[in-house]
A and B are shown apart, each in its own frame.
Chain A
Amino acid sequence: MSRLPLVLALAAALAALALALLVGPGELGPGDVAAILGHHLGLVDAAPPPIADAIIWELRLPRALLAAVIGAALGGAGAITQGLFRNPLAEPGVLGISSGAALFAVIGFALGLDAATPWAAALLAAGGATSVLLLLLAFVGARIDVATLLLSGVAVAALASAVTTLILALASARWDLGLRVIHWLMGSFEGRSWGHLAIAAPIVSLGLGLSLWIRRDLDVLFLGPESARSLGVDLRRLHLQAIAAIGLLVGVATALTGIIGFIGLIVPHLARRLGGPGHRRLIPLSAAIGGGVLLLVDTGARAFTSFVLPPGVITSLLGAPFFLWILWRQRVRVDGL
C-alpha cells in the first residue's frame, strides 16, 4: 500500500513517455516506433528507414527522456525547498533560485563560456542557484515567515532579472546573444539530444541521491529548528546539504532547458496528497510525478499547437493560478483561526 503511489506514478510516467514517442511529425505508428526501439536494443534485425530512425532515436527519445529527467529534478528540488523552508509556497522559481541560475548562465553565454565546454552553462547555473539560496538563508535567518520569504524571493528574482537585462542592454549590438537568451529563458526541449541527457542524468541522480540522504533530517526539521536541534540535527550541515542538492537540481535543469517554472510548486503538493508528508516517499514521488507532468506538458505543446510553444510558458500558465489558489487557501485558514 505504501509503495502504491510511487508505482502508479512511475507507471504514469512510462505511459507519458510512450505517448511522447508517438506524437509528432513523420506519421510514425506504434509499430514503427517499436521496431526502431527494438532495432537499437538488438531485438530486431531489420534496419529502419534513416529518417524515421533519426526522428525517433536521435530526436524524440532523448528529448522525452530529458523532459522526464528535468521534471524529476524540478519536482525533487521543489520537495526539498518546501521542506527546508517549511513552507508549501517555497519553490525554486518563486524564491528567485531559477532567476539566479538563469543570470549566471546568461553571464556564461555573454562571455562565450558555453562554447568552450557544454558543462560550463550547467555549472554556472548551479552556482547561481546555490548563491541565491545562500543569500536567502542569510537574509531570512532562522525565523522564516511566509511574507519575508516570498518578498525576499521576489526581490532576489527582480535583482537577478535586472542584472540579466543589464547584460543584454550592454550587449545590445549582439543580436544573436539577445535572441538566444530570450529563447532560452522561455524554457524548451527543442533540439536537445543524447549529449544533453548525458550531462543531465548524472547530475540529477547526484542531486536526488543527496536529497534522499537528508530525508530524515528534513522530516525532523518540520517540527521546527529548535526541536530539530534538540533532536540532534546539525542544522548548518543540513542547510548546506539541502542547498547543494537544490543547486545541482535547479542548476542543471535551468542550464539545459531554460526556466521552467512552477513544476517545483505543483508537483510536491500532488505528491504530498498521494504519499503523505514524509520525505522518504515525498522526494521519489515528486521526482516521478514531476517527470511525468513535464513529459505530458512537452508532448501537449508539440501535439496541440501548430507553432513551437515553449513548455516553460505552459507550466507558468498552469502554475501561477495554482500558486494563487494555495495563497488563498492559506489566507482562508489564517482568517478562520
Chain B
Amino acid sequence: MTMRGDERRGERGGEHRARLRRRASAAAAGDVPTTRSSGRARAGDSLDVAAATEPRERRPRARLRSLAGALALACATSLSACARPPAPRAETNEHRRVASQTVLSDEILWALGPETQARVIAVSPLVDDPRYSTIPGAWPPALPRLAGSSESLLALAPDLVIIASFTAPETRVFLEAHHVETLELDAFTGFDDLWRHTRAIAAAVDAEAAGEALIAGQEARLAALRRDHDRGRRPAAVSWGDGMIAARDTSFDAIAGAAGLDNLAAARGLVGHVPLTIEELTAWDPEVIVIGCEPPGCEAAERELAGRPGIAATRAAREGGIIALPAAALASTGEGMIVAAELLSARRLALPEAP
C-alpha cells in the first residue's frame, strides 16, 4: 500500500515538474528571443563578423540578453530540481523507511532488533565485507546494498537516510534537495561516540529502550575489562598498518585503554592516524604491535611481521607481543571495538610481565 501511494505521489510530482519545466522554458524563451538565438546558432562563421561589426553601444545589451538567458536557464533547472512537493516530515520519530549508508549504522540498526530491522530498506555495500563489518551476511541478501548512487537511493523512497561526515557532499545536497531527512554521524573516536550514535539512531527509529539496553550491555563488558587491568602494568603498544599508526582520538586509543595497554603514539603527543616509517617504529621499540588480519590467517600475519627486517629486533617481536586482531574488529567504530578490546585484553594477560 505504501509503495503504491509513493508511486502515485511520484507520478504527480513528475507531472508537476514537467509543468514547471515547460513554464520555465517559456520564461526563458520570452527573455531571449528564440528566433534571434536560433539565427545565431545557424549563422556559424558569420557570427563573429556580425558581432565585430555591431555598434559598440549595442554590445552591452547583447551581453545582458545572454546573461538573462543563462539566468533563466539556471532558474528553470533549479525549479525543476525543487519541483517535487516536500515530503511530509515526520512529526515524531516515525521513520518507517530507513536507508543506512555507513557500516556503523548497519551494525547498530541490526543490533537494535527485529522491529528496527524491518524498517531498513537499504544498507551499505561494505556490510558484507568481513574486513570492515562485524555482521557480514547478517542482513537478508534481498535488501539493496547502496553507495554512491543517489538515484537508486531516492527510488527506494526513504524517509530517513543515515549518512556520515565523510559522505559525498553531492549526495547530501541531493537528499536535501529532495526533502529526504538525513541523520549524520560525525565522529568516531571511541566508546562515547559509539554510544552517542547509538542513541541518535535508536531515537530516530523509535527504539530508545533497545538502544539503552545495547549500551548497558557494552558498558558492562567494558567494566569487566577494567577490573582485569586496574592494577596491572600497562605495556606500551602501537597499532600499525599500511605505514599508518593510530594515535590519540582514534578507536584504537579507546581499544588499547580498555585492554590495559598504553597507546605509545598518543603518549608521544600524536593525534589521529599518522604515517610512521618502519625505521621510526623500530626506534620506538614497542612492547606490543597490534595489526589487522583476516581470519584464519592471523597467526601467519603475526609470524610474517615478526620476521620482517627491523621489526624482528623490537621487544614486541622478541617477546611475543605482536598481536593480530580480526581487521573488522580493529577497524570498527561500533561494537567491534569492544570485541577488539576483549581479544586484546586476553592476549595482553598472556604476555610475560616485564621485570
How far, in angstroms, from A59 to B279 measured CA to CA in the complex? 7
Choice from A50, A180, A308 contacting B275 with Cβ under 8 Å: A308
> In the complex the two chains form, what is the Cα distance from A191 to B309 in whole Å?
8
* Complex CA distance for A180 and B244, rounded to whole angstroms: 13
Are B274 and A51 in contact, CB atoms less than 8 angstroms apart? Answer: no
Q: Which of B129, B131, B276, B313 contacts A51 (CB 8 A)?
A: B313
Number of interface residues of A (CB under 8 A): 25
Per-residue interface assignment for chain A, residues 53 to 80, with 1 indicating a CB less than 8 Å from any chain B CB and 0 otherwise: 1110011101000000000000000000
A-B contact count (CB 8 A): 59
Knowing A26-B283, A54-B282, say if A193 contacts B242 (CB, 8 Å).
no
Evaluate contact between A60 and B279: CB separation under 8 angstroms: yes
Q: Could you say which residues of chain B place their CB within 8 Å of the CB of A180?
A: 242
A175 to chain B: which residues have CB within 8 Å?
A: 131-132
B96 to chain A, nearest CB (A): 30
Q: Does B320 contact A (CB under 8 A)?
A: no
Which B-chain residue is minimally distant from A25 (CB atoms)? B283
In chain B, positions 266-295 with a C-beta closer than 8 Å to chain A are 274-280, 282-283, 285
Q: Nearest B residue to A28 by beta-carbon distance? A: B283
At the interface, yes or no: B114 with Cβ under 8 Å from chain A? Answer: no
> Does B312 lie at the interface of the complex (its beta carbon under 8 Å from any beta carbon of A)?
yes
Q: How far is the CA of A25 from the CA of B277 in the complex (A)?
A: 10
Please name all residues of chain B whose beta carbon is closer than 8 Å to the beta carbon of A308 when the two chains form the complex. 243, 275-277
Smallest CB–CB gap between A295 and chain B, Å?
Answer: 16
A335 at the interface (CB under 8 A from B): no
Partner pick for A190 among B129, B131, B277, B282, CB 8 A cutoff? B277
Closest CB of chain A to B293's CB: distance in Å?
12
Residues from chain A with Cβ under 8 Å of B198 in the complex? none
Q: Which residues of A contact B131 (CB under 8 A)?
A: 175-176
- Interface residue? B10 (CB, 8 A): no
A51, A53, A175, A183: residue with the most chain B Cβ atoms closer than 10 Å = A51
Distance in Å: Cβ of B47 to nearest Cβ of chain A: 31
Among A141-200, those with CB < 8 Å from B are 173, 175-176, 179-180, 183, 190-191, 193-194
Are A55 and B275 also in contact (CB < 8 A) when A173-B125, A179-B242, A190-B243 are? Answer: no
Judge whether A51 and B282 touch: CB under 8 Å.
Answer: yes
Q: Are B279 and A194 in contact (CB under 8 A)?
A: no
By the criterion CB–CB under 8 Å, are A51 and B278 in contact?
A: no
B276: chain A residues within 8 A (beta carbon): 308
Write out, one digit per residue, whether chain B residues 130-174 have a CB within 8 A of any chain A CB (1) or not (0).
011000000000000000000000000000000000000000000
CB of A302, distance to nearest CB on chain B (Å): 8
B310 touches A58 (CB 8 A): yes
Q: Say yes or no: A53-B313 contact (C-beta < 8 A), given A173-B125, A190-B243, A307-B274.
A: yes
B345 located at the interface, meaning its Cβ lies under 8 Å from any Cβ of chain A in the complex: no
Complex Cα spacing A60 to B285, Å: 16
Q: What is the distance, in angstroms, from B340's C-beta to the closest C-beta of chain A?
A: 19
Determine if A24 is an interface residue (Cβ-Cβ < 8 Å).
Answer: yes
Bits for A76-119, please: 1 = Cβ < 8 Å to B, else 0. 00000000000000000000000000000000000000000000
- Is the C-beta of B314 less than 8 angstroms from some C-beta in chain A? yes
B97: min CB distance to chain A, Å: 26
Q: Which of B64-88 contact A (CB under 8 A)?
A: none
- Shortest A57–chain B CB gap in Å is 9
Q: How far is the CA of A58 from the CA of B282 in the complex (A)?
A: 11
Q: By CB atoms of chain B within 10 A, which of A24, A58, A62, A190 has the most?
A: A58
Find out whether the CB atom of B313 lies under 8 angstroms from the CB atom of A24.
Answer: no
With A26-B283, A59-B282 as contacts: A54 and B313 at CB distance below 8 Å: yes
Please encode chain A, from 13 to 28, with 1 for each CB lying within 8 Å of some chain B CB and 0 for all others: 0000000000011100
Contacts of B313 in A (CB 8 A): 50-51, 53-54, 58
| Cβ-defined partner of A173 (8 Å) among B129, B277, B279, B309 | B129
Closest B residue by C-beta to A309: B275
A-chain residues with CB within 8 Å of residue B242 when the two chains form the complex: 179-180, 183
Interchain CB contact under 8 A, A190 and B278: yes
Q: Assess the B310–A307 pair: CB atoms within 8 A.
A: no
Q: In the bound complex, do residue B275 and residue A59 qualify as a contact, i.e. CB atoms below 8 Å apart?
A: no
Residue contact B278 to A183, C-beta cutoff 8 Å: no
> Quick one: which of A22-38 are within 8 Å of B by CB?
24-26
- Nearest-CB distance from A168 to chain B (Å)? 15
What is the CB-to-nearest-CB distance from A140 to chain B, in angstroms, rounded to a whole number? 35
Task: Decide if B280 touches A191 in the complex (CB within 8 Å).
Answer: no
Beta-carbon nearest neighbor of B327 in chain A:
A176
Within the complex, the shortest CB–CB distance from B297 to chain A, in Å, comes to 12
Q: Chain A residues near B274 (CB, 8 Å)? A: 307
Taking a contact as CB atoms closer than 8 A, the residue among B125, B129, B132, B278 that contacts A59 in the complex is B278
- Residue in chain A with minimal CB distance to B318: A50
Residues in A with CB closer than 8 Å to B309 are 54, 58-59, 62, 193-194
List the A residue with the shortest CB-CB distance to B148: A172
Instruction: Closest A residue to B292 by CB, please name it.
Output: A176
The residue that B278 contacts in the complex, of A176, A179, A191, A307, with Cβ under 8 A, is A191
Q: Given A58-B310, A179-B242, check contact A51 B279 (CB 8 Å).
A: no
> What CA separation (Å) do A176 and B243 show in the bound complex?
13
Is B285 within 8 A of A24, CB to CB? no
Could you tell me the distance between the alpha carbons of A179 and B292 in the complex, rounded to whole angstroms? 15
A60 vs B277: C-alpha distance when bound (angstroms) = 11
* In the complex, the 3 A-B pairs of residues with the closest C-beta atoms, listed nearest first: A54-B313, A58-B309, A25-B283
13 contacts between A and B (CB under 8 A): A51-B282, A51-B283, A54-B309, A54-B314, A55-B282, A58-B310, A59-B279, A59-B309, A173-B129, A175-B132, A183-B242, A190-B243, A308-B277
Interface set of A (CB-CB < 8 Å, partner B): 24-26, 50-51, 53-55, 58-60, 62, 173, 175-176, 179-180, 183, 190-191, 193-194, 302, 307-308
Which residues of B come within 8 Å of A, CB atoms? 125, 129, 131-132, 242-243, 274-280, 282-283, 285, 309-310, 312-314
Q: A51-B313, A58-B313 are in contact. List 7 more A-B contacts (CB 8 A).
A: A51-B314, A54-B310, A54-B312, A190-B243, A190-B277, A190-B278, A308-B243
